[in-house]
């Protein structure tokens, strides 16, 4: 039987789950309770001793700073230790109590430490300020400075204010100022006055309400400030605008020094900051602020302010990701030079001292139980393979320690701590984990487990990991809900009788151990240790076997991970369980077709790689090796997997004997049959089924890692066994098995059976780069070696023949005859491949062979319109759809083309035909261009019917020649023509065109001169004579009567003779023009006009020349001068020769004559009247130039504008009037 009498502590009493440094509830101060229950360990004593010495100023390294970093796993007693310090360092609180040190359970054995502690309070007044940062964990807006200062302000000991200042910073700074005024004593009454008119019952509120509630402070403080200062301005200035760590520490130092002055003795201020790392969390700015805070404590506090910060990790482990953001942990560590850790064994010591310490009777009962049980815990309950041990160790149990810890095992408190710590790190936000800070501490868990053990009353039952799991299951459900859900499902199946009780225990142990893989390896032995609890139960060996059986039953829920690192087992997820169930169903119903298809899709590529199949083989009698590529089938099922090679021979491999359901399979053709060996065949088939069952269950979805690894292992086994079976297999091709000694000879036998004589492996290798080698080869150039190997022909009769060439010639010719005699290369190639599928991958080689047949003269390349193409078009792989073939004509074409100059001895017939066709095409184009030129001149530049008729006859001749060239081109395209006649006509036509073009270019100026003379003779100029008209009529008649081809050199000579008449038209025109000039004196008259200042272009005049005056005197004379210049130049050009004039000169002269009517029409008068007008103008203007005259006009037409000018002059000048014979001059 078990009872509480076994233990020295009151196990049944309420137990504080955790100690908080700031805890004060029900008006009770918990500091004495913290001191009463604290166990001073070696580590905590070392920390306290160093801290006391530094506080007293007796440390050997006083210059190293005043900041402490106290770290340890949560539940290791950090907060409890800080709560003890808070009590031991409060001088005023201690003066009210005499026995505080004695109440410390280990106090009497720490005499040196007690002496140092007493000296501190003799020399200094110590004021602790404690801050539980967990209370502010989620308050992102609050900084370290604000939180610390709030706690400091509420300390009555530090501020000297009764009850302390407000925790609201703005109110606290106001209070600090308000205390210096006479109104401070009446602050409550003043509050009531300030609230009148704002609240209904102001007397209900006192100053403590103002300190607590912001809304009241906002209403009261401005009024109180204005009452004292006369203005509300300046209230905000009482509080520093930027309360950074430096300003905060300066404020603390101010409060400390003020208190020191008030008390008249030195004051030490101790800042106790609990759970700093949790408060920092993932906030990089808070880490930076802590660094600045510690630096300010050193610099500003100067030893009078000391700081202790607790954390759950070393400084560099607070948040490792901060390093990526530039955090220099060496600087932070420098700010906290005094770092003390509370190790995991610290938890064990505390557990034994506070809970598990035995009474005399309890120790005897424990020894009795351990002596009588059938199993020894020292052997049964130790873990093996430990990598990171705890203290006490996991792999060794000391009997004396076991007695102290019983019913716990000595290593369990630190083990529990390790598990919880790792669980906390795996939480989504470790800073907010349920296992953080004030969460259930190890002592509370030990207490809870101990109470349950006492209630169960089984003294041979030791606490196990399963008991630990049951106690913390609610917290586990928060962190790993999916795994806990799996355990709940296992429990349901246990309740339904489908699983056993040990299965539930094993699952719980797996869940906990998977979180500490670096501490305890999850072997079957260690799982047995984790679930063992009955010292009179099964042995370790028996339990290990039970665990193995349990894991087999749980395989749907728990799977081996096969990881080299990490936990050996892990929980399956719902998706994994569905896969496992589907795989088990597949095991019972194997589908061999599906199995073979899966092998094809997932394994065959790796299998054939392991088989090291030959990559080349000797072909026929060539004695040369050529690449091969493989296609496969297994028991009649074609595989998609192939072994490819460039330009390779195809080898079809038929694997036989894998499927037990396969019978004799009929194959298309004669594949290389590969029958697998019989040794181990059943094992191979079992492995295939096992692999396929899982492969089929998962499909192509993303796999859970554990399933992926299991699938990979099964695949590796299948691959290894199948490769072995194939390596020991036998080969056969068309009953030649006795001739095959291995895969290499099997491939050669297959090639010998499969590939015909009219094929060569080089055909597969021919590509565009090979075809480019054929381009531009002459009759004397040798063919490349590869071309000779595949029977490419040339003009040389020795290259005419060969099975490949004959086959291609026959297939090509048959298609052309059957389908109209004209087909695209692509269509011809498709037809050849359809007849001979073995040529499928040899199309470039087929192009080369057809190229040779065209060169030989069997076929001719043409385009889609039938125009001949150059021979190399056949080997242009980019033009196979537009390049077409025709059957070539008779055999005498070469000589005709060569005699006509269209090929030389090194060129092919297609080359000559292309040139002949191109020559006629080019000639037709040139003739067409000349037709357009002649038509343009006739329509745009020629004005007389006689000359236009000459050009139209030339156009007719050109168009006839153009049509002849087109007809010859079409005849060449058709290949059904008189080649000699076409060649001769082509050459003759080119000579005719050259003569005609030359005559046209030479004689066009003469033709336009004739046109200009005839045009002039038709004008109505009064100076033209009857002789001009007679000469014009005679010339027209001569031209109209000429019927020869003037566009030939001989024809032009005859035409020139015909158009030479008497009198000559140019002579008649020149005589008439000279007579007109002499009779009228027009030359001198025009010279006078051009020299006179008033006969200027219109743009030269200003507004002083009035419109009517200009129209009557200046315009007619100006036009006369312009008319004479135009007509005189035109007559000079027309009557001149063609030596120094171009056709454009005569055309411009013709246009000038057409644009100028007779002088009387242009100027409105003849020469005589124009002279009179000029003389009158000279009389009017005298010696005055246009610039000398303000205004000139004629009446009455210009009266209005002249009157306006006179009025302007009268206003500004004294005028005189001078009469003249023709008018007046006003000066």
Which pLDDT value is given to residue 35? 84
Cα 334 → chain centroid: 44
Residue 495 to residues 488, 499, 503, 621, 1189, Cα–Cα distance (Å): 11, 8, 12, 79, 134
What is the helix (H) or strand (E) element at residue 391, kind and residue range? none
Distance CA(571)–CA(556), nearest Å, equals 9
Sheet holding 822-824, edge to edge: 822-824, 884-887, 859-862
Task: Find residue 68's DSSP bridge partners.
Answer: 308, 338
Sheet holding 125-132, edge to edge: 125-132, 267-274, 305-311, 67-72, 338-342
Which pLDDT value is given to residue 1210? 76
Buried/exposed code over 264-293 (b: 16+ C-beta within 10 A; e: otherwise):
eeebbbbbbbbbbbbbbbeebebbbbbbbb
Residue 638 to residues 37, 125, 597, 667, Cα–Cα distance (Å): 81, 95, 9, 10
- The per-residue DSSP string of 263-312 comes to HTS-EEEEEEEE-HHHHHTT-HHHHHHHHHHHHHIIIIITTSEEEEEEES
What is the helix (H) or strand (E) element at residue 702, kind and residue range? none
Domain positions in the chain: 19-143+263-342, 345-572, 590-752, 756-888, 1081-1183
Distance CA(359)–CA(11), nearest Å, equals 12
Distance CA(1149)–CA(838), nearest Å, equals 79
Residue 1138 to residues 999, 1003, 1144, 1148, Cα–Cα distance (Å): 15, 9, 11, 14
Which pLDDT value is given to residue 106? 64
Which pLDDT value is given to residue 344? 58
The candidate with the shortest Cα–Cα distance to 1023, out of 892, 1166, 893, is: 1166
DSSP state of 199: B
Distance CA(207)–CA(212), nearest Å, equals 9
Distance CA(62)–CA(51), nearest Å, equals 11
Angle (deg, nearest 10), helices 681-698 and 574-588: 140
Distance CA(917)–CA(966), nearest Å, equals 9
**pLDDT means over runs of 10, the chain (1227 residues):** 76 57 55 81 88 83 76 77 90 85 73 89 92 76 86 90 89 91 91 88 90 90 90 87 88 93 93 86 82 90 91 72 54 85 69 80 90 89 90 91 91 87 69 44 80 88 93 88 91 93 94 91 93 91 93 87 75 82 87 93 92 88 87 92 89 90 72 88 92 86 76 90 90 75 84 84 91 85 90 83 87 86 91 90 92 85 84 91 82 73 72 84 91 91 90 91 88 76 86 88 88 87 88 88 87 85 84 88 84 79 76 84 86 83 87 86 83 83 82 80 77 75 69
Which pLDDT value is given to residue 439? 34
Q: What are the structure tokens assigned to 472, written together?
A: 């913390």
Superfamily of segment(s) 19-143+263-342? P-loop containing nucleotide triphosphate hydrolases (3.40.50.300)
Looking only at the bridges linking them, the beta strands covering 672-675 and 649-656 are parallel
CB 1215 within 8 A of CB 1227: yes
* pTM for this model (two decimals): 0.49
């Amino acid at each position: 039987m078990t009872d509480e009498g076994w233990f020295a502590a009151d196990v049944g009493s309420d137990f504080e789950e955790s100690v908080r440094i700031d805890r004060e509830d029900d008006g009770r101060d918990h500091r004495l309770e913290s001191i009463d229950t604290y166990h001073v360990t070696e580590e905590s004593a070392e920390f306290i001793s160093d801290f006391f010495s530094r506080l007293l100023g007796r440390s050997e390294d006083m210059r190293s700073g005043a900041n402490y970093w106290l770290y340890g796993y949560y539940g290791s007693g950090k907060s409890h230790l800080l709560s003890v310090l808070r009590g031991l360092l409060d001088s005023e609180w201690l003066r009210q109590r005499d026995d505080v040190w004695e109440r410390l359970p280990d106090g009497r054995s720490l005499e040196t430490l007690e002496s140092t502690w007493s000296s501190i309070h003799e020399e200094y007044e110590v004021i602790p300020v404690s801050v539980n940062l967990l209370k502010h964990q989620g308050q992102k807006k609050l900084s370290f400075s604000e939180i610390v200062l709030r706690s400091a302000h509420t300390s009555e000991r530090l501020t000297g204010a009764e009850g302390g200042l407000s925790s609201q910073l703005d109110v606290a700074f106001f209070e600090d100022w308000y205390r210096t005024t006479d109104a401070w004593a009446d602050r409550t009454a003043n509050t009531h006055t300030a609230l009148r008119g704002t609240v209904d019952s102001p007397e209900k509120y006192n100053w403590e309400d103002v300190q607590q509630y912001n809304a009241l402070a906002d209403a009261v403080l401005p009024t109180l400030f204005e009452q004292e200062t006369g203005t509300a301005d300046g209230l905000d200035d009482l509080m520093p605008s930027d309360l950074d760590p430096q300003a905060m520490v300066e404020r603390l130092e101010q409060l400390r020094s003020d208190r020191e002055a008030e008390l008249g003795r030195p004051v030490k201020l101790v800042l106790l900051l609990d759970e700093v790392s949790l408060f920092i969390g993932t906030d990089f700015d808070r880490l930076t602020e802590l660094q600045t805070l510690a630096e300010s404590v050193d610099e500003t506090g100067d030893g009078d302010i000391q700081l202790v910060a607790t954390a759950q990790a070393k400084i560099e482990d607070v948040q490792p990701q901060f390093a990526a953001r530039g955090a220099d942990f060496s600087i932070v560590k420098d700010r906290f030079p005094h770092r003390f850790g509370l190790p995991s064994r610290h938890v064990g010591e505390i557990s034994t001292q506070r809970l598990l310490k035995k009474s005399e009777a309890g120790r005897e009962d424990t020894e009795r139980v351990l002596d009588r049980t059938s199993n020894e815990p020292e052997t049964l309950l130790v873990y093996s393979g430990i990598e990171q041990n705890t203290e006490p160790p996991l792999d060794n149990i000391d009997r004396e320690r076991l007695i102290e810890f019983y019913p716990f095992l000595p290593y369990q408190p630190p083990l529990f701590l390790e598990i919880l710590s790792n669980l906390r790190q795996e939480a989504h936000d470790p800073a907010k984990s349920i296992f953080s800070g004030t969460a259930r501490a190890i002592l509370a868990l030990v207490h809870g487990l101990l109470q349950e053990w006492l209630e169960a009353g089984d003294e041979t039952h030791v606490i196990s990991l399963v008991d630990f799991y049951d106690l913390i299951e609610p917290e586990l459900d928060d962190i790993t809900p999916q795994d806990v859900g799996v355990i709940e499902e296992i429990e349901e199946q246990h309740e339904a009788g489908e699983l056993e009780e040990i299965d539930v225990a094993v699952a719980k142990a797996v869940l906990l151990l998977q979180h500490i893989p670096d501490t305890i390896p999850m072997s079957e032995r260690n799982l047995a240790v984790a679930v063992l609890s009955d010292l009179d139960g099964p042995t370790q060996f028996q339990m290990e076997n039970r665990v193995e059986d349990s894991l087999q039953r749980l395989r749907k829920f728990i799977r081996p991970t096969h990881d080299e690192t990490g936990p050996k087992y892990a929980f399956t997820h719902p998706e994994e369980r569905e896969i496992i169930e589907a795989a088990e169903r597949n095991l019972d119903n194997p589908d061999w077709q599906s199995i073979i298809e899966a092998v094809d899709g997932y394994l065959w590529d790796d299998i054939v790689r392991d088989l090291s199949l030959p990559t080349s083989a000797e072909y026929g009698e060539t004695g040369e090796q050529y690449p091969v590529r493989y296609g496969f089938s297994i028991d009649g099922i074609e595989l998609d997997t192939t072994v490819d090679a460039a330009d390779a021979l195809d080898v079809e491999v038929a694997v036989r004997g894998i499927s037990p359901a396969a019978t004799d399979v009929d194959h298309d053709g004669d594949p290389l049959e590969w029958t697998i060996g019989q040794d181990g065949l059943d094992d191979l088939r079992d492995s295939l089924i096992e692999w396929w069952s899982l492969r089929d269950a998962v499909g192509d979805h993303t796999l859970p890692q554990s399933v992926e690894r299991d699938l990979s292992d099964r695949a590796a086994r299948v691959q290894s066994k199948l490769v072995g079976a194939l390596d020991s297999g036998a080969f056969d091709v068309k009953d030649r098995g006795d001739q095959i000694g291995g895969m290499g000879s099997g491939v050669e036998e297959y090639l010998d059976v499969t590939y015909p004589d009219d094929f060569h492996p080089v055909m597969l290798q021919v590509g565009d780069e090979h075809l480019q080698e054929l381009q531009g080869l002459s009759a004397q150039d040798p063919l490349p070696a590869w071309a000779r190997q595949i029977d490419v022909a040339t003009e040389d009769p020795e290259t005419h023949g060969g099975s490949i060439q004959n086959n291609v010639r026959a297939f090509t010719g048959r298609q052309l005859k059957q389908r109209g005699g004209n087909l695209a290369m692509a269509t011809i190639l498709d037809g050849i491949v359809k007849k001979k599928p073995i040529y499928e991958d040899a199309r470039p080689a087929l192009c080369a062979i057809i190229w040779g047949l065209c060169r030989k003269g069997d076929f001719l390349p043409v385009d889609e319109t039938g125009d001949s193409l150059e021979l190399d078009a056949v080997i242009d792989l980019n033009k196979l759809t537009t390049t077409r073939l025709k059957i070539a004509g008779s055999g005498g074409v070469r000589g005709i083309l060569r005699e006509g100059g269209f090929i030389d001895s090194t060129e092919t017939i297609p080359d000559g035909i292309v040139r002949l066709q191109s020559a006629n095409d080019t000639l037709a184009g040139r003739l067409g261009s000349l037709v357009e030129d002649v038509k343009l001149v006739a329509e745009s530049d020629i004005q007389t019917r006689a000359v236009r008729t000459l050009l139209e006859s030339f156009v007719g001749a050109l168009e006839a020649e153009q049509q002849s060239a087109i007809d010859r081109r079409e005849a060449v395209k058709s290949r059904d023509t008189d080649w000699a006649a076409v060649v001769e006509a082509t050459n003759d036509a080119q000579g005719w065109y050259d003569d005609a073009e030359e005559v046209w270019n030479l004689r066009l100026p003469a033709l336009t001169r004739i046109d200009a003379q005839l045009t002039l003779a038709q004008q109505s100029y009064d100076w033209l004579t009857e002789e001009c008209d007679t000469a014009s009529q005679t010339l027209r008649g001569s031209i109209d009567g000429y019927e020869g081809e003037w566009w030939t050199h001989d024809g032009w000579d005859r035409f020139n003779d015909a158009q030479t008449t008497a009198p000559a038209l140019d002579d008649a025109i020149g005589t008439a023009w000279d007579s007109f000039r002499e009779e009228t004196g027009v030359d001198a008259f025009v010279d006078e006009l051009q020299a006179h200042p008033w006969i200027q272009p219109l743009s030269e005049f200003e507004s002083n020349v009035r419109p009517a005056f200009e129209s009557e005197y200046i315009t007619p004379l100006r036009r006369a001068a312009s008319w004479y210049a135009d007509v005189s130049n035109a007559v000079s050009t027309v009557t001149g020769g063609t030596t120094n004039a171009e056709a454009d000169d005569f055309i411009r002269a013709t246009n000038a004559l057409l644009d100028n009517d007779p002088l009387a029409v242009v100027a409105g008068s003849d020469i005589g009247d124009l002279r009179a007008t000029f003389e009158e103008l000279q009389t009017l203007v005298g010696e005055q130039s246009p610039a000398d005259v303000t205004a000139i006009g004629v009446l009455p037409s210009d009266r209005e504008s002249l009157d306006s000018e006179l009025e302007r002059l009268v206003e500004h000048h004294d005028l005189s009037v001078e009469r003249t014979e023709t008018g007046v001059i006003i000066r």
